[in-house]
Amino acid sequence: MTDKHDKTKASSIVTQEPSSTRLIVSMAVAGFISGIIIIAIYMLTFETIKENKARELREAVFKVLPDVSFMQKLHFIDNKLIVVKAEGMDDEMIFAGYDPQRKFIGYAIQGKGPGFQDTIHVLFGYLSSKQNVVGMEILDSRETPGLGDKIFKDMDFVGEFSNLPISKDIKAVKKGKKTQENEIDAITGATISSKAVVRIINKAFNKWSPRLPQQGSEPVLEKQDNQ
Amino acid sequence: MATDSSAYEEMIKGLWRDNPVFVQVLGMCPMLAVTNSAINAVVMGLATFFVLVGSSFLVSSFKQWIPKQVRISLYIIIIATFVTVVDYSLLALLPAIHKELGAFIPLIVANCMILGRQEAFASKHNVKYAVMDAVGMSGGFMIALFALGSVREILGVGAFFGIDLFGTNFESWVIMILPPGGFLTLGLLLLFFNWFTERRREFLLKVAESDRMAYVDGDK
Q: What is the mean pLDDT of chain B?
A: 85
**DSSP annotation of A19:** P
Could you tell me which of A42, A170, A115, A145 has the C-alpha nearest to residue B162? A145
pLDDT bin (cut points 50, 70, 90) of residue B218 is low
pLDDT bin (cut points 50, 70, 90) of residue A16 is low
* Chain B residues closer than 8 Å to A42 by CB: 88
Q: What is the mean pLDDT of chain A?
A: 82
Q: Is A185 helix (H, G, I), strand (E, B) or coil?
A: strand
> Is the per-residue pLDDT at A7 higher than 80?
no
> Is the per-residue pLDDT at A160 higher than 50?
yes
Instruction: Tell whether A2 lies on the interface with B, counting CB pairs under 8 A.
Output: yes
- In angstroms, the separation between the Cα of residue B15 and the nearest Cα of chain A is 25
pLDDT per position as a tens digit, A50-81: 888 888 888 888 888 888 888 888 888 877 78
Q: Where are the domains of chain B?
A: 5-216
Contact yes or no for B117/B52 (Cβ under 8 A):
yes
Instruction: Tell whether A145 lies on the interface with B, counting CB pairs under 8 A.
Output: yes
For residue B127, the chain A residue with the least C-alpha distance is: A2
pTM for the full predicted model: 0.75
What's the confidence (pLDDT) of residue B18? Answer: 81
Contact yes or no for A152/A158 (Cβ under 8 A):
yes
Q: Where are the domains of chain A?
A: 49-211
The 10 Å Cβ neighbour count of residue A89 is 17
* ipTM for this model: 0.76
What's the confidence (pLDDT) of residue A226? Answer: 47
What's the confidence (pLDDT) of residue B77? Answer: 93
* Chain A residues closer than 8 Å to B105 by CB: none
pLDDT per position as a tens digit, A175-219: 777 788 888 888 888 888 999 999 999 999 998 888 888 777 777
Question: Do the bridges between strand A164-165 and strand B163-164 make them parallel or antiparallel, or are there none, so unpaired?
Answer: unpaired
What's the confidence (pLDDT) of residue A28? Answer: 92
Determine the straight-line distance between the first and last CA of chain A, rounded to whole angstroms. Answer: 69
Could you tell me which of A160, A106, A148, A158 has the C-alpha nearest to residue A129? A106
Among A2, A48, A189, beta carbon nearest to B92 = A48
Contact B85 A147 (CB under 8 A): no
Contact A34 B80 (CB under 8 A): yes
pLDDT per position as a tens digit, B165-212: 777 777 778 788 788 888 999 999 899 988 988 898 899 899 888 888
Q: Is B149 helix (H, G, I), strand (E, B) or coil?
A: helix
pLDDT bin (cut points 50, 70, 90) of residue A88 is low
pLDDT bin (cut points 50, 70, 90) of residue B2 is very low
- In angstroms, the separation between the Cα of residue B85 and the nearest Cα of chain A is 6
